[in-house]
Amino acid sequence: MEFEYNLPVHIVFGRGCIEQLGSEAAKLGKRALLVTGRSSTKKSGLLDRAAALLKDAGVDVVFDKVTQNPLTTTVMEGAAFGRKAKCDLVVALGGGSIMDAAKAIALMCRCEGDILDYQLLRRTPQPILPLIAVPTTCGTGSEVNGTAVLSDPTTNDKRGMRNNDYLPTVSIVDPLLMKTMPKPVLAAVGFDALCHNMEAFLSRKRQPFSEIMALRGMELSVKFLPRVYENPDDDEAWEAVTLASTFGGMSIYTSSVVAPHGIEHPASGLRDIVHGCGLAALTPIVYEHTLSAAPEKFRTIAKLLGGKKAADCPDAIRRFLERIDLNCTLSEQGVQEADIDWMTENCFQVSAMMLQNHPCKLTPDDVRAIYRAAL
């Protein structure tokens, strides 16, 4: 057996560790571009708190705002703003979309040209600005990986960029910051985290380190996501679902996501649907189609979810989704029958690697059938 594991991110994890934001930032720069979402961090007071922590540590702050499913054009605007303001550090405060956009902004603050020129590169021509990631949702695990998923508004392509240079320098993962998420957001991002761990576990690129994190991440999500969904005052459960998300980010960075993510991306790229909801509609169906390719692995997942054998896996996932009110279809989210051909073609263009890492080969006819069954 031969494998590699390389994840050079300084991870600070724990309830209340946001307090370390100022001291960590002061080690890296003097003027921070704080990238955040439209309104949630402002409403909760977190934005003001983060800005105060930075200022108290002697770091100046300027702000930038990013939306869900970040666009390549938004990144270019953010980078132009950061350059003009002479920022030497980027701080991402928000969910996966924010952290992904911040990675690309940190890149384009330093590099010439358009973000699209860098999407397929394995190394950046020069180091990007240092980045501190502060997640406020426990789903993507973007704080511990070098992946950024951006949508190109001219083509609707939702494409992942992956490069060790995009890894955050520091990640401050404070489970208490997750507590302001509305329940539907918690369900969607929490299920995304479970999917990351399930997919890394199923992946052809699975290796011992990612496997152990994926297994532990799945256990934590299965036990604690319904618990925190029912009782948002349960801080132990918040810590567990946050750790599951961080494990998920680490395991997919090493071992990749597989077909459910690959097939979901064209749907959310085209219709701007919530990623976790798209996965909820597609995952049980993808697994139903491919159970026979990895019966032992599906049996392990099924057992974690309360089933007995591999064939129980899709329904065990559906029962789990019911507990967090996330059972849904693609058509409920605006996807139409007429979209299927475009999504199938797009899937083989932008998600080819994810499909290749699935335990079995999927043809365009398979993918078309999966979309149809998920409508």
Residue ranges in contact with Fe ion by CB under 5 A: 192
What is the rounded distance in angstroms from the CA atom of residue 344 to the CA atom of residue 60?
Answer: 47
121 Cα distance to chain centroid: 20
Nearer to Fe ion, 192 or 312 (CB): 192
Closest residue to Fe ion using C-beta atoms: 192
* Phi-psi group of 69: left, alpha or beta (phi > 0 → left; psi -120 to 50 → alpha; rest → beta): left
Contact 358, 259 (CB under 8 A): yes
CB of residue 303 to Fe ion, shortest distance in Å: 23
CB-hemisphere CA count at 13 Å for 353?
12
Smallest distance, Fe ion to C-beta of residue 330, A: 16
Nearest approach, Cβ of 275 to Fe ion (angstroms)?
A: 6
Q: Minimum distance from CB of 269 to Fe ion (Å)? A: 13
Closer of 31 and 162 to Fe ion (Cβ): 162
Whole-Å CA distances, 87 to 55, 107, 209, 340: 14, 12, 36, 43
Judged by beta carbon, residue 192 or residue 211, the one nearer Fe ion is 192
Tally of CB atoms within 10 A around 211: 18
Q: Which is nearer to Fe ion, 25 or 283 (CB)?
A: 283
Which helix (H) or strand (E) covers residue 31, if one does?
strand 31-36
CB of 296 to Fe ion, least distance (A): 24
25: which residues sit within 8 A by CB, 6+ positions away?
A: 32, 54, 57, 59, 89, 91, 132
- Please say whether the dihedral angle defined by the alpha carbons of residues 20, 25, 27 and 30, taken in this order, is positive or negative: negative
Cβ atoms of 139 and 278 within 8 Å: the answer is: no
Shortest CB 141 distance to Fe ion, Å: 8
- For Fe ion, give the closer residue by CB, 59 or 281: 281
Could you tell me the smallest distance in angstroms from the CB atom of residue 16 to Fe ion?
27
Nearer to Fe ion, 174 or 192 (CB): 192
Identify the DSSP state of 317: H
**CB nearer Fe ion, residue 143 or residue 192:** 192
Instruction: In angstroms, give the least distance from the CB of 192 to Fe ion.
Output: 4
CB of 37 to Fe ion, least distance (A): 17
Measured from the CB atom, the residue of 100 and 192 that comes closer to Fe ion is 192
Q: In angstroms, give the least distance from the CB of 34 to Fe ion.
A: 24
Tell me which H or E stretch contains 32. Answer: strand 31-36
Closer CB to Fe ion, residue 64 or residue 192?
A: 192
87 and 33 Cβ atoms separated by less than 8 Å = yes
Q: Where are the alpha helices (DSSP H) in the chain?
A: 21-28, 40-43, 46-56, 72-84, 96-108, 183-202, 208-230, 235-255, 259-271, 275-290, 295-304, 313-323, 340-350, 352-356, 364-374
Nearest to 173, CA basis, from 134, 137, 145: 134
Choose between 24 and 192: whose C-beta lies nearer to Fe ion.
192
Residue 158, C-beta contacts closer than 8 angstroms, at least 6 positions apart: 69, 149, 150, 151, 152, 265, 266, 268, 269, 350
Distance CA 358, CA 199 (A): 8
